[in-house]
Copies of this chain bind each other. A is one copy, B any other.
Amino acid sequence: MKTVNVGIIGFGTVGRGVVKILLSKKKLLKQRSGLSINLVKIADKNLRQRKGMRVPGKLLTKNIDSILKDRNIDIVVELIGGIHPAKEIILKAITLGKHVVTANKALLAEDGEKIFMAASRFRTLLGFEASVGGGIPVINVLRNSFIANDIEVIYGILNGTSNFILSKMSDECCSFRQALADAKARGIAERNPKLDISGVDSCHKIAILVRLGFGLNIKLKDIHTEGIEELDPVDIQYAKNWGYAVKLLAIARKSGQKLDVRVHPTLISLKNILANVKFEDNAIFIKGDMAGGSLLYGKGAGSLPAASSVVSDIVEIAKGISDFKKAKDFFRSDFDTGIKRAREISELFTRYYLRFSAIDKPGVLAGISSILARNKISIATVTQKEKKAGQPVPIVMLTHQANEGKLNKALEEIDKLNFITKKTVKLRIMR
């Protein structure tokens, strides 16, 4: 089995997540990819940051060069963020023939061309799934799934902090300042939230998506960017009355030979799924001329979602530099997730919708509910509709969590009652 060696530079929020995944999911990754992904070194200036994690001491170093110059390391993961020294580190890694995975959206947006050109010249691979949309696989989908498409439009909610603030301003009709204070108190907004609320973070992300989707090496100054700091809750309420939500959208749309690209608070119809993307969630809509429109929705930030994306890049590169004939086929069903077999439907525990058809006479509800009670089915809500002349009366109820086997037994018994006119309708409720 081929071994691929990984060095991580930056042991902060995302770095800790990546280390956690590489150490705890080693077996799963091996089973699914046929490769041994080996974490060999972690470099950070501040090594104290490993709260609650058991990382073998020999993995840790303060010396970044000990990763860059280690001939055994195949993939360098840059997770320190910011332009400097991340840029110099990545360029040096590429020059030394390393493949690079990064989550650094600011750097790729501002200086992507230089980095991509270097990777191309030195024939190394570059992964950056975590740079946009955290745990949402938008880079993979654009690079691979939509490869046969001319992209017509990409738009989305790319900043969780802003979306949290806007959701709160909309739901609670509070001011921007109040909503921001709450976001800070919950640890959603950073102490200095300028990049998020000014729209610059969304601008960085749409610049990366524009490069992938439209092949344009766009300059940040050419992206019209407005933030949400000036928004008055009264406008959110007026918009709501007219059937719109206000969201900070990043938009890139093909318009002949020009690209309409911008970031600003936008009124969006409440019928659009994006209007219903709440709190810190992100969502991205992509329309290709062949695939049609596709929406990706999920966690836009957080240590583990971003780390999950970083690790997917690591594995993709590891596969890319391996002979595919040696890698195991992930679609075979012999990897172990601890699941042995399908569960019987009679073992299901869920909530149910029930509709009984009965002759309207005294004792009907008592008869039904006593049988349910005996089978430990508890009723959450019930409605008995007025009957139309000559028709049986419908009794409709929602149950609490119940066992399907017991429920079926109860319904069998109920359907034999002389006042029941039709087989009872049973529908399951999604929890």
**Given A298-B295, A308-B149 in contact, is the A430-B333 Cβ separation under 8 Å?**
no
Interface band, chain A: 35 or more
Residues of B within 8 A of A224 (CB): 345
* A312/B148 in contact, CB under 8 A: yes
**Given A144-B140, A291-B135, A339-B216 in contact, is the A266-B429 Cβ separation under 8 Å?**
yes
- How near does chain B come to A422, taking the closest CB pair, in angstroms? 10
* A234/B394 in contact, CB under 8 A: yes
Which residues, 111 to 169 on A, are CB-close (under 8 Å) to B?
A: 112-113, 116-117, 119-120, 123, 125-126, 128-129, 135-137, 140-141, 143-151, 155
Max chain B Cβ within 10 angstroms of own Cβ: one of A258, A290, A383:
A290
Residue A296 at the chain B interface, CB threshold 8 Å: yes
Residue A190 at the chain B interface, CB threshold 8 Å: no
Q: Is the interface of A mostly helix, strand, loop or mixed?
A: mixed
* B120/A329 in contact, CB under 8 A: yes
Residues of B within 8 A of A429 (CB): 244, 266-268
Residues of B within 8 A of A297 (CB): 273, 294-297
**Given A291-B299, A292-B135, A292-B302 in contact, is the A235-B427 Cβ separation under 8 Å?**
yes
Residues of B within 8 A of A339 (CB): 214-216, 254, 257-259
A330-348 near B? 1/0 per residue, CB < 8 Å: 1111111111111101011
Residue A205 at the chain B interface, CB threshold 8 Å: no
Residue A36 at the chain B interface, CB threshold 8 Å: no
Residue A200 at the chain B interface, CB threshold 8 Å: no
* A291/B304 in contact, CB under 8 A: yes
* B298/A293 in contact, CB under 8 A: yes
Query: Among the listed stretches A2-10, A27-35, A42-50, which one makes contact with chain B, having 4 or more residues with CB under 8 Å of it?
Result: A27-35
Residue of B nearest to A264 (CB): B428
**Given A254-B339, A261-B343, A290-B307 in contact, is the A332-B116 Cβ separation under 8 Å?**
yes
* A258/B342 in contact, CB under 8 A: yes
* A343/B292 in contact, CB under 8 A: no
Residue of B nearest to A150 (CB): B337
- How near does chain B come to A198, taking the closest CB pair, in angstroms? 16
* B28/A148 in contact, CB under 8 A: yes
Complex partner residue of A311 from B148, B292, B298, CB under 8 angstroms = B148
Residues of A at the B interface (CB closer than 8 Å) are: 17, 21, 25, 28-29, 32-33, 112-113, 116-117, 119-120, 123, 125-126, 128-129, 135-137, 140-141, 143-151, 155, 211-212, 214-219, 222-224, 232, 234-235, 238-239, 242, 244, 246, 249, 251, 254-255, 257-262, 264-269, 272-273, 276, 288, 290-299, 302, 304-305, 307-309, 311-312, 315-316, 319-321, 324-325, 328-343, 345, 347-348, 353, 355, 381, 383, 394, 396, 398, 425, 427-430
* 10 additional contacts (CB under 8 A) given A137-B145, A218-B342, A258-B343: A137-B294, A145-B309, A148-B307, A244-B353, A262-B348, A267-B427, A273-B297, A290-B308, A290-B311, A321-B324
Across chains A and B, which 10 residue pairs bring their CB atoms closest together, nearest first?
A137-B145, A294-B298, A224-B345, A135-B291, A295-B297, A258-B343, A291-B308, A290-B308, A148-B311, A222-B342
